[in-house]
Structure 1
Amino acid sequence: MQVEDHAVWERGFPVKYLLVREDEEGEERFWGRCAGVEGMFVDKVPPPREVLTLRGCTPVGRLRDVLSPAGDATGLLGDVCIEVWDEQRPVQWWNLLDTVVIAHQPSRIDPALVDVIVGAAVEEEEPWSRALPASPRFELFAGTTAAAAPAGRCLSVDGLFVSREDPPRTPLELIGCEAAEPLLAVLRQPHKWERDWMRMWALDRNGRVMYHHNVDLGITGARPSVLGSTLVDITLTDGGDDRPSLIARSIWETWYQGAPTTPNQWAPYTAQGRAEWLDLTAAGMNGQGPDRTGGVHHLDGRFVTDVPGLHCAMAEALVGPGGYFGREWNAFKDCLNGGFGVAAPFTLIWHDADIARQALAEITSDPDKGLSYFEDIVQLLERYGVTVVLQ
């Protein structure tokens, strides 16, 4: 399907979204287009708060720091990830959001260990539906991303393995839709399609795809559009749980004017905003041309104060503003294998490298290595044949 064939219509307002679905052969087919979407940007509502007890803890990092002040039995721990490991790998994980330490005391299991009582909103990837490993290991991480810092481990967690309700679904409104025949067929028999899905492509003002978003085809209703003509407004029962956050709205407005052409436009944003910026770079990852080798690339390190900022600056150094070169450690490694516009060998001069060294000192991508995220990225570059000069 050619985007340019559907990105323009004869109306007084632009097409901002294309509706697309893959057929049985994997070909993308045009299902419709619309002038806008209401409810695209949503901050997740945290789940209800619960009280849990981390039994037999060996605290390190952030958890150790929170527990250390003499006589102070409370502390703000922030987001925590709990992973349940078998002998080789994690088999399940939970995020404890906005975790607060209520109390801690010597463990009943072993006085050398600590029992920690916390309050948190518990977010689980999927409900626990299996038996615990024979010798489970509970690993704790401060933060809920791939770059979270180790916070210790514990022997068990009281209150973790309970039944929880699914979060409420948030609808999505497609405004001013011109439906092609496949989508019209869905509107005629919506119940037949409610377990299927389609893809929304968000366009910038030049008709370039700047974001992809999958949505279920559960349709609550359709009616003549508020924009008139023969258009329709469609309500989807659930717009998905991976929608951009509210902070992304202003970032999208910047990208809507066209892909960035000047560096460091991401710099004023928080880590969350920078992560949203990186999501927009991913839409153009296949259009960055053949790999170039050799030469010198300069990384502006003045604003590398978090992991998303590192990857924003790295991508700009290697493939230019708005370019994609990974959003986290694993994706960055994939890019170094080639196919994303630049490949080793080359030289990377990292200016103001100490800013990242200090800001990422407590963050790791692999706790077993014992390296900070900054050190790990430098080592990874060098392993792939990149000459890294830290200034």
Structure 2
Amino acid sequence: MYRFVEDETEREILTATDVRGFFVEPSVGESEIITAVGSALRPERVPVLFEDVEMQVRDVRGREIGGYYIGRVEVTDFRDSVSVPGGTDLALSFFGFGSPYPYAGEIWQAWAQSSPAESGMWKRLPPEAHDSWLHVVQMAWFRTGHQAKRYGDTTTCEIAGADLADIAGFYCELGEAVNGPGGYFGSNPSALDDCLINSGARRESPFRLVWRDFESSRRAIGDEDLDVVISVLREYGIEIEYPSSG
């Protein structure tokens, strides 16, 4: 699932079925020892230093769906894998580099098996995981060749305001309303602006937005974040309807 390569040459350095310790709480700041699980690499000696390294995320078909430029990676220790027969668990140092999305690892594991087949799968996660889901959505969207725009010709998009606990949830919901399961349509006001421009919003409004249970989402998210989002949408002529229920 994880493939470490030289960034310029794409030469494979090692692979792993899982990477533990890389996806950390934002408060942690830096990663410490990272474990690459089930690698085929068994170094003759340690430490071994690799430069200019990218860690790719690949699905079960071998398709690249995400990636992180790490730079320097040092193998500091190794042992027989306790979870992958015949494999090696490598202790790695990324020299402090980590990803501040603590749930992204388990989300990548799910996406590696199959991309979302239905909308709303992110709602099964706790609210604190919504940032991580949005991060995976955004990275997978661009890594698989999509652009920041609307695909398809849907003229009416609906979002369920009662399901939104935070601003990340709004962008998860909007992305799927516009572009289907696992879809992306911005992750912040600037990115939303880009998506609208690339969808032809300067010429005509690309869709009408039905925002159900708006007051519920306003209470959960707060005026400041929602006012900015609404301002961006209205700037490009998006008609927003606010049904009281249903």
Name the TM-score class by shorter chain: 0.7 to 0.9
RMSD over aligned CA atoms reads 3.3
Q: How does 1:62-211 map to 2 (within 5 A)?
A: 169-178=31-40, 190=48, 193=50, 196-211=51-66
In structure 1, the partner of 2:93 is: 237
| Offset at residue 201 of structure 1 (A) | 1.5
Deviation at 1:250, TM superposition (A): 4.3
Pairing of 1:1-391 with structure 2 (within 5 A): 16-23=1-8, 29-36=10-17, 37-43=19-25, 169-178=31-40, 190=48, 193=50, 196-221=51-76, 223=78, 226=81, 233-238=89-94, 240-245=97-102, 247-286=103-142, 287-288=145-146, 291-292=151-152, 295-338=155-198, 344-362=205-223, 364=224, 373-391=225-243
Deviation of 1:277 (Å): 0.5
The structure richer in strand per residue is 1
Question: In the superposition, relative to structure 1, how do residues 35 and 188 fare at CA in structure 2: closer, same or farther (>3 Å)?
Answer: closer
Residue pair 1:216, 1:236 contacting (<8 A) in 2 also: no
- TM superposition shift of 1:266: 1.4
In structure 2, the CA distance between the partners of 1:271 and 1:330, relative to structure 1 (3 Å rule), is farther
Q: State the SS of the aligned residue for 1:284.
A: helix
Aligned-partner residue type, residue 69 of structure 2: N
Q: Which amino acid aligns with 1:172?
A: I
**How far apart, CA to CA, are the structure 1 residues paired with 2:85 and 2:7?**
29
Q: Distance in 1 between matches of 2:75 and 2:113?
A: 33
1:282 & 1:322 partners in 2: Cα distance? 9
Separation (CA, whole Å) in 2 of partners of 1:44 and 1:294: 37
Given that 2:199 and 2:206 are in contact with CA atoms closer than 8 Å, whether structure 1 keeps it comes out as no
CA shift, 1:309, in A, is 1.0
CA contact (8 A) 2:24 2:99 kept: no
Q: Deviations over 1:146-192 (max 9, x none)?
A: xxxxxxxxxxxxxxxxxxxxx7750212234346xxxx9xx89945x
| Aligned residue pair count | 230
Residue 345 of structure 1 aligns with an amino acid whose one-letter code is P
Contact 2:3–2:16, Cα closer than 8 Å, also in 1: no
Cα 1:298–1:228 shift into 2, 3 Å? closer
Return the offset for 1:249: 4.7
Q: Which amino acid aligns with 2:97?
A: G
1:227-269 deviations in Å (ceiling 9; x for gaps): 576x655432236232531x44543443333111212221243
Matched residue type, 2:36? L
Q: Structure 2 CA distance, aligned partners of 1:168 and 1:310?
A: 28
Q: Are the equivalent residues in 2 in contact too, given 1:198–1:214 (CA < 8 A)?
A: yes
Query: For 1:339-373, what per-residue CA distance to the aligned partner results, in whole angstroms no more than 9, with x for missing partners?
Result: 69xx94221222222222232334x2xxxxxxxx2
Please list every run of 5 or more consecutive structure 1 residues that lacks an aligned counterpart in the other structure: 1-15, 47-166, 365-372
Taking structure 2 as the reference length, the TM-score comes to 0.76
Letter in 1 for 2:37: I
Give how far 1:276 is off: 0.5
What code does the residue aligned with 1:301 have? G
Note if contact 1:199-1:215 (Cα within 8 Å) is conserved in structure 2: yes
Structure 2 unmatched runs, 5+: none
For 1:312, the aligned partner's letter is C
- Change beyond 3 A, Cα 1:42–1:376: closer
| Identity across matched positions, percent | 23
Residue 274 of structure 1: CA displacement?
0.5
C-alpha distance 228-301 of structure 1, shift in aligned 2 (>3 A): closer
- The 2-side partners of 1:175 and 1:250 are apart by 14
